[in-house]
Amino acid sequence: MTEQEQVLLGNIADTDHEIFALLKQRYSPRTFRNEAVEAGHMKQLFEAVRWSASSYNLQPWRFIYAEKGTEAYDKIIDCLSDFNKKWASMAPVLMLSAYKEKNDDGKENFHASHDLGLSLGSMTVQAQYLGIALHHMAGVDWKKAQEIFNVPIGYHVTTAIALGYYGGVLEKLPEDLQEAETADRTRMPQEDFAFKDTWGG
């Protein structure tokens, strides 16, 4: 077993109750294997999105993605927060997610961001099945991204995503991020967010 495989195994969630193995294994690394993501695998990721649950089947999700070494990739990097710029440039693929704000009849689609989240959940599980890691980032200047990529009015860029195959070299990260990469994973207990019968119950 390689050192990188040991790091990956060390990030398996210590769940209180047994869950689907791919969900236990999923985590958000900041280092990726230095290997381009196969075109067929990208198609599979977006096919998982395509068949995600969607209110009224409106499918309001939209994505812009770029491979490392391209001008579009560098433009996405330029939209990231300074913290994310420290590591995201190691990802073979960078992506922006967005949603369509209104239905075709002009009414606000209140559930569009919810549907985008569902689609990214589907993409994440499919990615895990393929050995691909996704790191979702809130640290993105969405207004700048909308301008740079000429996103039409009525669509809202929300997050950035770094993705690539698991197995990156830990030592390529700054020391503080190496520590974060190998730190114990924690989550709040179910009792703090799942209430039976009444709020806080």
Residue 161 sits at the vertex; the CA angle it makes with 151 and 92, to the nearest 5 degrees, is 110
Q: What is the dotted CATH code of the domain comprising 3-182?
A: 3.40.109.10
State which amino acid sits at residue 1. Answer: M
Distance CA 93, CA 134 (A): 10
Element (H, E) at 120: helix 112-129
Place of tokens 């440039």: 89
Amino acid letter, 170 = L
What is the reported pLDDT for 6?
Answer: 40
Question: Which run of H or E residues covers position 72?
Answer: helix 71-79
Angle subtended by helix axes 175-182 and 3-10, to nearest 10: 60
Q: Could you tell me the two tokens for 60?
A: 């309001």
Q: Which two tokens stand for residue 64?
A: 């812009």
Rounded to whole angstroms, the Cα distance separating 53 from 97 reads: 17
pTM: 0.91
Close Cβ partners of 1 (under 8 Å, ≥ 6 residues apart): 9
CB 130 within 8 A of CB 44: yes
pLDDT tens series, the chain, 201 aa: 354 444 444 578 888 899 889 999 999 999 999 999 999 999 999 999 999 999 999 999 999 999 999 999 999 999 999 999 999 999 999 999 999 999 999 999 999 999 999 999 999 999 999 999 999 999 999 999 999 999 999 999 999 999 999 999 888 888 888 888 888 888 999 999 999 999 987
Residue type, 73: Y
- The sheet with strand 93-100 has its strands ordered as 61-67, 93-100, 155-165, 132-137
DSSP 159: E
